[in-house]
Amino acid sequence: MAVAVPAPRRMRKTLLGAVPMTSPFYALHPVTRLVGLLVLAAVPLFIYMPEANLAFLSLLLVLFVGGRVDLRGLRIYLPLVMTVAFFMFLVVLLSPDYASGYIPIHLGPFTTYYQSLRWTIASYVRIMAMLFATILYFSTNHEREILVALRTLRVPFAVSYIVGLSVRAAGMFMEDFRVIRQAEQARGLDSSSLRLRDRTRLYGMYLVPLFTIALRRAEEISNALAARGYSMSGKVLTGGVRHDFVRARYRLRAIDACLILLMVAGLAVVAYLQVRSGWFGLERSPLLMAWQRHLGGTG
Amino acid sequence: MEASVGTSKVAAASVWEVREGEIRRPGIIHVVMMALFAGVGIVVGTLGSLAVPVGFVSAFWPGQAVQAVGSVWFGYWGGIAGALFPLVSNLLSGSAPLPVSIAYLPANFAQSMAAGWAFRVFRADPRLRSGRDWLVWIGIGVIAANLFGSLWGSNVLVVFGLVTRAAWLKIWAGWFVGNTLPSLILGSLLLRFVSPLVVNMRAFCKRYWA
């Protein structure tokens, strides 16, 4: 009796991992996703209130889950998130900003100030919001989609070509680097136990083969482009524009136009509210104001 | 000693001199080299940031070595690649979000172009054959470049509220050392051992664009 085997889930490789083809993000045109990156990365710039940025981070989490991004892949950023927090709060503890009227906070042998700590908390949450907005984009897009987005926006062919080739080359060199590392491990090298000095020397040994590979590839790729009649103007020899095969595979639909307008409008509203009335300023944060009152300051 | 210095001067002049009848024009190979160089920088920069992170700076960022040698070999093509690749490597490593990375651009461009400019103006040999070549490389390509870069970058961190103004000096010092050391060690390695290969390539730029 034949055993029913579930059909394998088709995955699409992205810059930071792989996402199922059924992800809702792939229903959108790449230019919508690129505008999403720019808007989501820019929104926290206008928001200082930690509660608002935390709500924004929650929205990003919903997008990660809704987009079917494997959250386990975000674990590589955990050490960075923690070291950034440690670093920022250590700095504010050891070297806080001070001005007349600042409320002191004594933590053991250290004295910091409420205003300095408040700014650090707000900045940390803001930076995390910007960071994860960017990680969301790179977790759900491939370099071809970045290319399509740039070409849809009529970015010059040379610029979009360079961006696409750079990102593709990064992937190739990552693979080369992995091969070099595997060869080392196969020969018994444990790089994690090396001292910083020895790791430095190791980096030097990686750089030389990576560069020589890059030099050889540059010759090969430019010869291949020349042989196929490519020029950086994006035109063919007869003067006409080269057909953009990659861009032709994606269609901009009404939902893309609506979403782009909505996102840009949302950014404009947030920016206007903050710049004109300080809607998302620190002074409007209920938690920070409550903390200030608890410390005995007016707020 | 005098003879070797004289030979070095002749050799250095010949590396940058456009010979009679030689036509040098920007071409596809320069564009491709810029893209591939940016790709190498993305890999090196990302791995460097992940390897030794200290908050928003890295205690040892090998990406700076890539920035510096790029402009020495490929002029503005290398300089532009060196300015742009940190945008991507910062995002992939998570060490700086997009707006902060954009604010870093002038610093990254200066860190990239300083060496390229100095080697061409002072006719220093990229193969680092004499004491004078080393002086130009270390004095301008490493120290001066990273001085400007670290001053700009550390002030960007203050403007975005990532560090306090009171801590700026320590942050600047960490940035300066974290960029200068790898540039000095790894950049010197690359110039000494890879330059002999590069100067004979079509992509090598005797002037700034070709």
Instruction: Give the integer Cα–Cα distance in Å for A196 and B53.
Output: 13
Which of A162, A128, A142, A132 has its CA nearest to residue A34? A142
CB contact under 8 A, A222 and B28: yes
pLDDT digits (tens, 9 = 90+) for A190-224: 767 777 677 766 766 777 888 888 888 888 888 88
Helices (H), B94-187: 98-103, 105-121, 131-136, 145-159, 168-182
Give all strands (DSSP E) within chain A, no chain letters. Answer: 11-14, 17-20, 104-107, 110-113
| Under 8 Å between Cβ of B126 and B15 | yes
Instruction: Give the integer Cα–Cα distance in Å for A84 and A54.
Output: 17
| Under 8 Å between Cβ of B64 and B111 | yes
Residues of A in contact with B48 (CB under 8 A): 203
Q: Please state, rounded to an integer, the average pLDDT across all residues of chain B.
A: 84
For chain A, the domains span 29-141+253-299, 156-250
Give the burial string for B96-123 (b: 16+ CB within 10 Å, else e).
bbbbbbebbeebbbbbbbbbbbbbbeee
pLDDT digits (tens, 9 = 90+) for B148-197: 999 999 999 888 877 778 888 888 988 898 889 889 988 998 999 899 98
Q: Which of A228-232, B98-102, B107-111, B183-187 has the lowest mean pLDDT?
A: A228-232
Instruction: Give the integer Cα–Cα distance in Å for B12 and B27.
Output: 25
| Under 8 Å between Cβ of A40 and A60 | yes
Instruction: Give the integer Cα–Cα distance in Å for A90 and A92.
Output: 6
Residues of B in contact with A219 (CB under 8 A): 29, 201-203
Q: Does the structure show a pLDDT above 50 at A124?
A: yes
H or E element that contains A66: helix A50-66
- pLDDT value, residue B2: 35
**What tokens does B76 get?**
């503005």
Phi, then psi, of B61 in degrees rounded to 5: -110, 100
Please report, for residues A127, A148, B62, the alpha-carbon distance to residue B110 in angstroms, rounded to integers and kept in the order given. Answer: 25, 31, 16
Q: What is the pTM of this model?
A: 0.79
- Selected for mutation to probe chain B from A150, A168, A203 (highest B CB count within 10 Å) is A203
- pLDDT value, residue B55: 54
Phi, then psi, of A17 in degrees rounded to 5: 160, -135
Q: Please state, rounded to an integer, the average pLDDT across all residues of chain A.
A: 83
3-state secondary structure of A195: coil
DSSP letter for each residue of A220-240: HHHHHHHHTT--TTSB-TTSS
**pLDDT over 70, % of chain B:** 87
Instruction: Give the integer Cα–Cα distance in Å for B157 and B142.
Output: 22
Search chain A and give the residue with CA nearest B33: A218
**B163 and chain A in contact, CB less than 8 A:** yes
For chain B, the domains span 12-198
DSSP letter for each residue of A265-276: HHHHHHHHHHHH
**pLDDT over 70, % of chain A:** 88
**Overall size of chain B counted in residues:** 210
Residues of A in contact with B164 (CB under 8 A): 91-92, 95-97, 116, 119-120
- pLDDT value, residue A3: 61
pLDDT digits (tens, 9 = 90+) for B82-102: 999 988 888 777 677 788 889
> pLDDT-based confidence at B70, cuts 50/70/90?
very high
Torsion of CA A178, A179, A184, A189, to 10 degrees: 30
- Selected for mutation to probe chain A from B29, B30, B31, B32 (highest A CB count within 10 Å) is B32
Residue among B92, B99, B160 whose CB faces A138 most closely: B92
3-state secondary structure of A14: strand
Fold annotation for B12-198: Arp2/3 complex 21 kDa subunit ARPC3 (1.10.1760)
Q: Which of A115-124, A160-169, A263-272, B79-88 has the lowest mean pLDDT?
A: A160-169
On the 0-12 / 13-18 / 19+ scale of CB atoms within 10 A, A187 is exposed
- Selected for mutation to probe chain A from B29, B34, B43 (highest A CB count within 10 Å) is B43
| Under 8 Å between Cβ of B63 and B86 | yes
- pLDDT value, residue B116: 95
Search chain B and give the residue with CA nearest A127: B97
> pLDDT-based confidence at A182, cuts 50/70/90?
confident
Instruction: Give the integer Cα–Cα distance in Å for B171 and B66.
Output: 22
Q: Does the structure show a pLDDT above 60 at A299?
A: no
Interface ipTM: 0.79
What residues does A19 pair with on adjacent strands? Answer: A12
> pLDDT-based confidence at B3, cuts 50/70/90?
very low
Instruction: Give the integer Cα–Cα distance in Å for A4 and B96.
Output: 48
| Under 8 Å between Cβ of B207 and B18 | yes
Q: According to the 3-state scheme, what is the secondary structure of A134-171?
A: HHHHHHHCCHHHHHHHHHHCCCCHHHHHHHHHHHHHHH
pLDDT digits (tens, 9 = 90+) for A236-272: 666 666 667 777 788 889 999 999 999 999 999 999 9
Instruction: Give the integer Cα–Cα distance in Å for A242 and A85.
Output: 49
Which of A124, A93, A272, A273 has its CA nearest to residue B160? A124
- Higher local confidence (pLDDT), B174 or B12: B174
Search chain B and give the residue with CA nearest A129: B97
| Under 8 Å between Cβ of A176 and A210 | yes
**What tokens does A33 get?**
């996703």
Search chain B and give the residue with CA nearest A199: B51
**What tokens does B203 get?**
């992509």
Q: In chain A, count of helices (H) and strands (E)? A: 10, 4
A100: left (phi over 0), alpha (psi -120 to 50) or beta: beta
**What tokens does B27 get?**
């071409």
